[in-house]
Amino acid sequence: MTAPVLTTPAELYSRLLHGDQAPVVLDVRWRLGDPHGHEHYLAGHLPGAVYVDLDTELAAPPAPESGRHPLPDPAALQRAARRWGLAPGRPVVVYDDNGNTAAARAWWLLRWAGVERVSLLDGALAAWRAAGLPVETGEPAPPAEGDIVVAAGHLPVLDADAAAEVARTGVLLDARAAERYRGETEPVDPRAGHIPGARSAPTGDNLAPDGTFHSVEELARRFTALGADGTSDVGVYCGSGVTAAHTVAALARVGITAALYPGSWSAWSADTARPAAVGAAAG
């Protein structure tokens, strides 16, 4: 049975203490421009949490045609997941220290690979700390090797042509910051702007001020206003397929299955044959 998208700190703590099968907890510390995720993890993490390196374990090496964070080969992902201790049927909870905007990549990737019992820790590390729950420092003992088997294709994905088609005939959401969508700035990718026809839907707007997800009702209102009301195909992209997964999770909260464009703007903008639109309109 597929797990809920979210779990609370209190629920997770109870399951870690009293559950028949304690979840594997994965810590995905990553922010654009900050290469010190492992150091942040060592400074404080959930008890027993396993550090996951987004750049090397949740992505293949970058390439212009597939972007800064291509999907990993399933065999490589399976090897990593077994190192993390994943086993068939065992639940998984993922978190980061930034509203789950990075952890959502692990949530999406594992579900894409057929791991159904995976949830995000709502509010991430900040909510755990706010609840007064224990935090560990340093490197824990490695978990026992798991025996999970993964297979690609359990969630929908888009390539560039399919993303362009969704922008024309459905709803393509751009999850980057609004100023990047408008083309006012572009800190990392070859060109500024957005995919023509895409609609600006910054990832941060999925979250309340405390870093938890907005309620289902609030998210439904948000996505309906953007045209994602369940009546047409929905796709999501961002800079490199990381924070877009957060919006896929938010859409799943309201019962909408959205396809992810893994290459996202990093791959689209590297292809000079692809047009780039600028400005606030979905042009």
**Catalytic positions, please?**
238
Answer whether 26's CB lies under 8 Å from 121's CB. no
Burial of 13 (0-12, 13-18, 19+ CB in 10 A): middle
C-alpha 211/C-alpha 123 separation (Å) is 5
C-alpha 128/C-alpha 130 separation (Å) is 5
Answer whether 46's CB lies under 8 Å from 40's CB. no
Cα→Cα distances 118→56, 205, 208, 273, Å: 20, 23, 22, 38
